[in-house]
Amino acid sequence: MRDVLTALAKLWKIDDAAKGYDEELRTLPEKIAAMRRDVDMLEGLLTAERAQVAEAEALKASRAEDLVERREALSRAKSKASRSRTLKESDAADREVEATRRTIADREREITTLEETLNAKRGTLEARERQLEEAKNIANEETTAAEARLAEVRVARETVVVGRDELVEALPRRVVKRYEKLRTRDRFLPVSIVTGPTCVSCRMTLPAQLCIEVKRAGEKSPAKPDIEDFLVCPQCHAFLVHIDFVEPPPPSV
């Protein structure tokens, strides 16, 4: 049983040493993906604003064409007024001239407003384009750096986890399954290396009898150790392994 407890403690030490690398392997791809989403969002905004500018330009062109037609209509109305022979015809022609002038004034104001709107949108569009270009450059630089770091982390982690598979093989399958589940917790440790009366994982004072059993656990010799042969903290349920099974006790004087 001592060898199995030592294997469990060594497994935890390996995983604890690899924890930082595992975190980087998880967070760096997330960081790259987040930057790419930001770039995609800016591109989407830019596409929408380009469409708005194109729509405003098309509307302005349409109003400009209409203005030309209105001015031609004004010329015809003035010519018609000059050829009027009766007072009635003259009044009708004058009303037509005045209505056309009002329409022309409306179109001119509309075109001026559209031009002002277009200028503002073009300015916004240029700012968005600069932001997008800057975001792309930053994303490319960060991605290159992150990918290089990922390569370094993978190599470093492989060095740290040497021998892990053999330790897993030395442990009962149910113990490994329970250990992996405990390892996903943020608050507590999966294995508590006991050096005194306190659980290292949750800081709870262990019952005196349990402390004695933890220290003597290596003396057990079950034919085929299973999860029932392992002691756990009654508070956080971490596996309890005495320090003597991790580090050899100091020589007696």
Q: What is the pLDDT of residues 88-107, one digit of tens each?
A: 888 888 888 899 899 999 99
Query: Which pLDDT belongs to residue 253?
Result: 42
The SS3 call for residue 193 is strand
Other residues' Cβ atoms within 10 Å of the Cβ of residue 75? 12
- Residue-wise pLDDT tens digits, 92-149: 888 888 998 999 999 999 999 999 989 988 888 888 898 899 989 999 999 999 999 9
Q: How far apart, in whole angstroms, are the C-alpha atoms of residue 141 and residue 155? A: 22
Specify the domain boundaries for CATH 1.10.287.1700 within the chain.
18-160
Burial code (b: 16+ CB inside 10 Å, e: under 16) for 166-180 equals: ebbebbbeebbebbe
pLDDT at 56 over 70: yes
Residue that is written with structure tokens 């508070």 in the block:
235
DSSP 198: B
- Residue-wise pLDDT tens digits, 166-219: 999 999 999 999 999 999 988 899 999 999 999 999 999 999 999 999 999 888
Three-point CA angle 133, 136, 139, nearest 5°: 150
Pick left, alpha or beta for residue 130 (phi over 0 → left; psi -120 to 50 → alpha; otherwise beta). alpha
| Burial (CB count <10 Å: 0-12, 13-18, 19+), residue 239 | buried
Query: Which pLDDT belongs to residue 248?
Result: 60
Q: Identify the H or E element spanning 159.
A: helix 87-160
Q: How far apart, in whole angstroms, are the C-alpha atoms of residue 21 and residue 39? A: 27
In single-letter form, the type of residue at position 93 comes to A
Query: Which pLDDT belongs to residue 252?
Result: 47
Residue that is written with structure tokens 């005495």 in the block:
242
pTM beyond cutoff 0.95: no
Contact 172, 222 (CB under 8 A): no
Q: Identify the H or E element spanning 210.
A: helix 208-216
Nearest to 236 by CA among 204, 194, 198, 196: 204
Q: Identify the H or E element spanning 241.
A: strand 239-242
Domain 18-160 fold is Helix Hairpins (1.10.287)
